């Protein structure tokens, strides 16, 4: 389950000069290879419940590199996130391996935006929230019938429009889902409940292009128009890159996105 904690913070205004020149879009990347073997709690911003013994960094199996995190049944891991402060659109990626739980989805007490449920019966499910603390879970159609398989779960959260999209293993499975709580205005944290034993790896947070600056050099210019125009004829297969050039966020790169990028330069 992925969540955004509710905190008092102002939303940064969208602007053409959205980032420092040459800044990387990646805000946080952890494949756990630099973590010490043993208890996860206290390492590089992570906390766990219970504190010791149930959530450990191990080298038995990994999606990437040599280490991953294993969670015993009925445990929780948390990471408070400040790396994405001020970002209106944020991507969160993690890889999970496990059979899924037979229990009903467990809502967090804190306000949350996006929630993913790993069900042994229904596979990977996503919450289409109603903005006021509820909503309905929808099936992505991705089954959890191989507990040794790693599944990439990629979420794009739009804190301005209060919507989120979900990719599973590189395929867009759900789009324009509502936030569970519209009071959430930025990505403040990540939490995973483990109803059954499972593993997690390759955790990443990334910002999205803002104001047409798809090259992330700090200014929207002709180079960004060219990059977007090229993507119309050859759309990127990588969801991150596709999201950058999809100016209007409708899931398709088209001439309207090229025009919108040019309009930013022209001040229209």
| Residue 8: pLDDT over 80 | no
Q: What's the pLDDT score for residue 33?
A: 97
| Residue 261: pLDDT over 50 | yes
Separation between Cα atoms, residue 260 and residue 255, nearest integer Å? 9
Separation between Cα atoms, residue 83 and residue 188, nearest integer Å? 9
- What are 214-249's pLDDT values in tens digits? 888 888 889 989 989 989 988 887 888 888 888 887
pTM, rounded to two decimals: 0.83
Question: Which residue ranges make up each domain of the chain?
Answer: 26-207, 222-266
Q: What's the pLDDT score for residue 52?
A: 76
Mean pLDDT of the chain: 87
Confidence tier at 179 by pLDDT (50, 70, 90): very high
Torsion, CA 236, CA 241, CA 242, CA 245, rounded to 10: -110
Residue 225 host element (H or E): helix 222-233
Q: What's the pLDDT score for residue 11?
A: 19
Confidence tier at 188 by pLDDT (50, 70, 90): very high
Determine whether domain 26-207 maps to CATH 1.20.1260.10: no
Cβ atoms 83, 186 nearer than 8 A: no
Cβ atoms 261, 246 nearer than 8 A: no
- What are 70-118's pLDDT values in tens digits? 999 999 999 999 999 999 999 999 999 999 999 888 777 889 999 999 9
Percent residues over pLDDT 70 in the chain? 91
What radius of gyration, in Å, describes the C-alpha atoms of the chain?
A: 19
Separation between Cα atoms, residue 166 and residue 176, nearest integer Å? 9
Instruction: Identify any residues that bridge with 158 across adjacent strands, giving them in sequence order.
Output: 89, 163
Cβ atoms 232, 224 nearer than 8 A: no
Residue 10 has what DSSP assignment? P
Instruction: Identify any residues that bridge with 77 across adjacent strands, giving them in sequence order.
Output: 48, 192
Residue 21 has what DSSP assignment? T
Residue 198 host element (H or E): strand 198-207
């Amino acid at each position: 389950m992925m969540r955004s904690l509710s905190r008092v913070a102002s939303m940064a205004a969208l602007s053409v000069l959205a980032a420092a020149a040459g800044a990387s879009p990646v805000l946080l990347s952890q494949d756990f290879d630099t973590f010490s073997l043993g208890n996860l709690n206290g390492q590089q911003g992570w906390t766990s419940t219970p504190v010791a013994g149930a959530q450990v960094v191990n080298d038995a199996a990994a999606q990437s590199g040599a280490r991953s995190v294993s969670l015993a049944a009925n445990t929780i891991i948390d990471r408070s996130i400040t790396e994405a402060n001020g970002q209106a659109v944020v991507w969160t990626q993690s890889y999970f391996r496990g059979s899924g739980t037979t229990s009903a989805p467990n809502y967090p007490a804190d306000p949350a935006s996006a929630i993913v449920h790993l069900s042994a019966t229904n596979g990977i499910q996503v919450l289409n929230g109603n903005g006021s603390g509820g909503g309905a879970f929808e099936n992505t159609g991705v089954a959890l019938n191989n507990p040794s398989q790693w599944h990439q779960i990629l979420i794009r959260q739009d804190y301005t429009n209060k919507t989120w999209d979900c990719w599973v293993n590189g395929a867009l499975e759900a789009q324009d889902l509502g936030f569970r709580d519209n009071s959430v205005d930025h990505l403040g944290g990540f939490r995973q409940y483990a109803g059954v034993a499972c593993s997690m790896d390759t955790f990443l947070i990334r910002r999205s292009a803002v104001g047409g600056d798809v090259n992330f050099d700090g200014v929207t210019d002709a180079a960004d128009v060219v990059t977007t125009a090229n993507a119309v004829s050859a759309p990127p297969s990588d969801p991150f890159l596709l999201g950058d050039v999809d100016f209007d966020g409708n899931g398709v790169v088209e001439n309207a996105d090229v025009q919108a990028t040019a309009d930013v330069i022209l001040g229209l």
